[in-house]
Amino acid sequence: MTGSPPALFRSAEAAMRAGDAHKAAQLLRQCLRESPSRTPARQLLATLLFQHLGEPLAARVEIDRLLGAEPGNAAYLVFRAAIAGQLGDYESAIAGYEAALALSPGDARVWVRYGHALRTAGRFDDAVAAYRKSLALGPSGEAWWALADTKSVRFSPDDIAAMRALVGRLAADDRAPLHFALGKALEDGGDFAGAFAQYEIGNALKRQRYDAGEMTAYVRRAESFFTPQFFATRDGGGCEAPDPIFVVGLPRSGSTLVEQILASHSAIEGTMELADMFAVARTAMGPGPFDFKAYPAALGKLDSAALKLLGDAYLARTSAYRREGKPFFIDKMPNNFVHTGLIHLVLPRAKIIDVRRHPMACCFSAFKQHFAVGQPFSYSLDDLGRYYADYVRLMAHFDAVLPGRVHRVIYEELVAEPEREIRRMIGYCGLPFEEQMLRFHQNPRDVRSASSQQVRRPINAEGLESWRNFEPWLGPLKAALGA
C-alpha cells in the first residue's frame, strides 16, 4: 500500500465513512509509518481502535504517544481515562478525569464522565456531586439523566422546574435524556400519565432508522441454518477453553444481578459488557463491513481450524479485561444471545446463561431507560415487543437443537428463591456453591451498568410489578408481544 501521508489519511477517512474500520486503521498505520508526527492520523487511529474495533490496549498505546508529546492536553487525558474505564481500571480512570479537570475545571461534560467513573466504583455520593457540578456549569440533559439513572436520587420541585425550563432550549440529542430524566422524576412522584408522556417524547427523539423486520428475518435464517445436523458435523471444533461464562438476554432483564452473584464466587471474575463476540462475528464474515443479511450463513464456510482460531481470538481479545487471574470470567453483553450459535461453534465448553424477565416488565423498563448507544430497538413499544418475541423464538430454537446447552434463569424465580436458583446456576457452571454468593451485595467490585446501585443491596422484589402503573398506555407493547 503506497501513497503520500495526506492521501493515505484522506483514504482512511473515506474508508471510515464507508463503514470499513479495519481498512481505515490499516491506512492510518501506513500513514503513521510514513509520517509518525502526523497528529490527526494518530488521533483518528486511537478513536477507531477504541470505539469501532474494540482494541482498548492498542488505543492506549496511541494515546500514550500523543500524551508523550502533549502531557498537558486535557482531551488526551480524558481519552486515556475512558480507556482505563473500559479496561476496568477505575482507579486510573478516576485519577485521569481528576487530572483533566485540574486543567479544565469548567468542562461540564468531563464532570459527567467523572461522575460515571465514580458511580461505577461505588462512590455514589461523589458521583451525584460531580453531576450536580456539571449542571452548575451549564444546562445539560445528559447530566440530568445521569442523576436520574442513579435510581436513588429523588428530584425536588425545584429540580423538576429547572428541567422543564430547559425543554426547547437543548439540541435534540441532549433533549432526549432530559425527557427521560423528567419521566423518572414524575414517576417517582406518582404522576404516571405525565411520566409516560415524557418517556414517549424521549424515545421519539432517540428512535431513528430501525427496522424490526431485520431481526425477525435473522431468526428465520438462524432456524434454517443452525440445525442438529449442522452442529453434529462440526462437533469437536472450536477452542476447548472453558473460561467464558456468557450472560445473555435483553437489557433490564436482571443480568447485572446474575453477574454480581456469579462474580462473588472465588473462581469467577466479573468483567463488563464486552463487544468482543461481535468482533469475532465480523472476523468470521471476512473482510469489509459486517453484512447482517449474510449472517449466519457465512459461518458455513468455516472449518474446525478456523473455528478454533476464532475461539482463540476471543480469549486473546478479552484477556485485557481479566485482571484477577481467576479461571473463569463473565461476558455480560446481553445482545450476545444473537450469537448463541457462533459461541457454541467457537467455544463449545463456554457456558451460556440466558436471563429472562417478565416481558412487560423487561420491555417497559428498557423503554424508560436512556441507552446512550447499542439498543436501537428500545425506543418504540412495538419494536420492543417484536424484539422480545424474536429473542424468545431464537432461544427456543437453540433449546431444541442443542438441548441443555443454554441455562435459563427466570428473574422472578431468582428473586423468590435465590438460594435454589443460585445453586442451579452454579451447578450448570460445574462449580461448587459458595455461601458468599448469597451475599453478592457485599462484593466491592466495580459495576458498570444501570443497575450498579441495586446490586449493592440484598435481593428484593422491588420494581417487579411497577410496569402495571403504566398498563393503560402499554397496548402497543402487548399487541407486539402476542400470546
Q: Express each pLDDT in 404-424 by its tens digit.
A: 999 999 999 999 999 999 999
Mean pLDDT throughout 312-318?
96
DSSP one-letter string for 176-220: HHHHHHHHHHHHHTT-HHHHHHHHHHHHHHH--S--HHHHHHHHH
CB 74 within 8 Å of CB 107: yes
Q: What is the pLDDT of residue 18?
A: 86
Kindly indicate the confidence band of residue 447, based on its pLDDT and cuts at 50, 70 and 90: low
CATH architecture, domain defined by 212-481: 3-Layer(aba) Sandwich (3.40)
Mean pLDDT throughout 174-200?
97
pTM: 0.90
Residue 436's H or E segment, with its range, is none
Mean pLDDT throughout 17-46?
93
Tens-place pLDDT, residues 287-310: 777 788 999 999 999 999 999 999
Cell of 425: 446456576
At residue 329, the 3 state secondary structure works out as: strand
Inform me whether the pLDDT recorded for 459 exceeds 90. no
Mean pLDDT throughout 142-165?
94
Q: What is the pLDDT of residue 349?
A: 97
Kindly indicate the confidence band of residue 202, based on its pLDDT and cuts at 50, 70 and 90: very high
459 or 74, which is more confident?
A: 74
Distances (CA, A) of 301 to 234, 274, 310, 369: 11, 26, 13, 39
| 117 φ/ψ angles, rounded to the nearest 5 degrees | -65, -40
Distances (CA, A) of 260 to 294, 329, 340, 371, 458: 36, 12, 22, 21, 11
Q: What is the pLDDT of residue 461?
A: 75
Mean pLDDT throughout 57-70?
95
Q: Is the N-terminal amide bond of 139 cis, ω within 30° of 0?
A: no
Kindly indicate the confidence band of residue 372, based on its pLDDT and cuts at 50, 70 and 90: confident
Q: What is the pLDDT of residue 290?
A: 79
Kindly indicate the confidence band of residue 425, based on its pLDDT and cuts at 50, 70 and 90: very high
247 or 286, which is more confident?
A: 247
Inform me whether the pLDDT recorded for 446 exceeds 60. no
Mean pLDDT throughout 7-21?
91
CATH number assigned to the domain covering 139-206: 1.25.40
What percentage of residues in the chain have a pLDDT greater than 70?
A: 96
Q: Which of 1-5, 12-16, 349-353, 450-454 has the weakest average pLDDT?
A: 450-454
**DSSP character at residue 445:** -
Q: What is the pLDDT of residue 172?
A: 81
Mean pLDDT throughout 324-331?
96
Distances (CA, A) of 275 to 164, 272, 312, 314, 333: 36, 9, 16, 10, 7
Q: What is the pLDDT of residue 355?
A: 98
Pure H helices in 35-73: 39-47, 56-69
**Mean pLDDT value across the chain:** 93
Q: Which of 3-7, 231-235, 343-347 has the weakest average pLDDT?
A: 3-7
User: CATH 1.25.40: which residues of the chain?
Assistant: 139-206
Q: What is the pLDDT of residue 52?
A: 87
Mean pLDDT throughout 138-163?
94
User: CATH 3.40.50.300: which residues of the chain?
Assistant: 212-481
Q: What is the pLDDT of residue 457?
A: 61
Tens-place pLDDT, residues 87-115: 989 999 999 999 999 999 999 999 999 99
